[in-house]
Amino acid sequence: MSFITAFGDRVFVASGDLIRTFRIGDDEGMTPLISWSELNPERIQKPSFEAEKDLKAVDKRVILCLAHSNMIAAHGRRLVAVGTNEKQIHVFEYFIDNNSKIVKAEHIVTSVVPKAPTAIVFDREDAYVVVGDRSGDVHRFSVLNGSAIEMAGAISMILDVAFSPDGKRLLMADRDEKTYVIDAYCLGHTEYVKTLAIQDNDTVWSSGGDKNLHMWSIANCSKPRRTIDLSEWEAPVRKISINVAHKKIAVLFEKKDKMIVVDLETDPAATQSVTILNESECLDVTSTGHYFIVLGRSTITVINLLTMLQATFPIDDELNAVLSATKDAVDNLFKNVTHNNQLEYEKRKAEKFEQIEQKRRRLNNQEPSTS
């Protein structure tokens, strides 16, 4: 698993157990964010879940998801969160000087999740990290003390989570062809939904295994407002990232060395194919300022949206080795269609909904009486 995210001109890369950071246009190079030996044992929270209370023992720590804080709250903290195969969520804070160089990073808190995390995002105030997992559950963890509550649940693996900019809506994409807005389903995909991109408080884009890029109204999501067919690229969509200022979406495909840039201001949408130089496979993409930044197996490429010129950022040998060997946690997200599994699916769905109903009843019983 390998990921890239950015805030302002600072970029973060996570692959294997490495977390690296650099600034666009800065020649200081790439530096580690933090060493795992610096974790404070007193800030590792004990799990409060009914099952799997012990931390998972693994041969090697692997990062499964990555997020940066929004930094819009008054406190202005700069936070980075990762989820690992140990079923842990780690939050780090970093501090910069007047030249925007990182002078210190420290471990804030570690929380334990019931199942392996698959997607992570900070809420609008950066007070919580919200985590989706393999079992289809979404939990919220306090940045302050690591305490957790369950927020929502689906009936299949969560593949992406996102908030609307106003923080009022939580969106989840899952392996069951749904974009799930906490109080409604966006039904239109025919295969798994892998990736989400938020345009504004009422507009979200989604894509995945069916090679369609759908635009939805969050308030009225009964059907897609717009659909862009990407099937000519003959591969499932791996990741989308939106640059709101330029009204463009970057689209990566599974096991491809190129991406496409979709111009949202044209109808039908104009697309531009961009082959990433000296790269064999694109793994992740993010957007910041006037740039798309693409993480590949051997390169990090910064694409200037004003000129569409590419600049390759140098990476160190250790990160290069990890990127070249990186593997996805789940090799194939398509459903098993070799036999008719409808009855099995309906049974699992009924069991999942019963579990959700039982949890709801338990929570209601714990609420104080208002009489």
Domain boundaries, the chain: 2-339
According to the model, what pLDDT value does residue 226 have?
A: 94
Give the model confidence (pLDDT) of 162-180 as tens digits. 999 999 989 988 887 667 6
Which of 40-54, 137-151, 177-191, 227-241 is predicted with the least confidence, judged by mean pLDDT?
A: 40-54
Under 8 Å CB-to-CB from 144, ≥6 apart: which residues?
109, 127
Average pLDDT value for residue range 193-219: 93
Residue 343 three-state SS: helix
Q: Which residues contact 302 (CB under 8 A, 6 or more apart)?
A: 24, 291, 292, 293, 310, 311, 312, 313
CATH superfamily of this structure's domain 2-339: YVTN repeat-like/Quinoprotein amine dehydrogenase (2.130.10.10)
104/64 Cα distance (integer angstroms): 24
Contact 21, 85 (CB under 8 A): no
Q: Which of 223, 225, 178 is nearest to 199 (CA)?
A: 225
Rounded Cα distance between 33 and 31, Å, is 6
Tell whether the model's pLDDT for residue 234 goes beyond 70.
yes
As given in the structure block, the two tokens for residue 58 are: 């693994």
Task: Using the Cα atoms of residue 118, residue 129, residue 162 and residue 295 in order, give the sign of their dihedral.
Answer: negative
pLDDT at 85: 94
Confidence of residue 261 (pLDDT cuts 50, 70, 90): very high
Residue 245 has pLDDT above 50, yes or no: yes
**Is residue 71's pLDDT more than 80?**
no
Give the model confidence (pLDDT) of 2-27 as tens digits: 999 999 999 999 999 999 999 998 87
The span from the CA of 235 to the CA of 254, in Å, is: 6
Q: If you search the block for the tokens 């496979």, which residue do you land on?
A: 281
More confident residue, 342 or 288: 288
3-state class (DSSP) for residue 186: strand
* pTM reported for the whole predicted model: 0.86
Residue 51's pLDDT is what?
A: 46
pLDDT in tens, 94-109: 999 988 899 999 999 9
Interval 240-257 mean pLDDT: 96
Query: How confident is residue 339, by pLDDT bands cut at 50, 70 and 90?
Result: very low
* Percentage above 90 pLDDT, the chain: 61
